[in-house]
Amino acid sequence: MQFFLGETQVGEPVTVGDRVLRPESRRVGAVLPVGGFVWQFPTAVSITHHDKTTRLPMVDVTRTAVWVIWGVVGIALMLMKMRKQRLGVKP
């Protein structure tokens, strides 16, 4: 059984005028004996126009915001621990 998931998916093509758009996404997650979790996020859009394909990467603002929040929480926890050690408070 595979514990970690990590795969790139290409969605169904959508035709707009004479262009064909294909969304791409990345799926990561973990499988546990009692369930698991999956996080899927967009990565790019491939545009085909006159037999020429261009790939436009996408920036996932939500994913960036989540990483910033985790970073702030981590720094806050480290500062709280350092403050307790300086004041001599035992856990």
For 28-85, the pLDDT digits (tens) are 999 888 888 888 888 999 999 999 999 999 988 888 899 999 999 999 999 998 888 8
Q: pLDDT tens, 15-36?
A: 999 999 999 999 999 988 888 8
Contact 35, 14 (CB under 8 A): no
Tokens of 58: 């996408």
What's this model's pTM, rounded to 2 decimal places? 0.61
- Residue of 32, 34, 33, 41 whose CA lies nearest to 6: 41
Phi-psi region of 35 (alpha: psi -120 to 50; beta: other; left: phi over 0): left
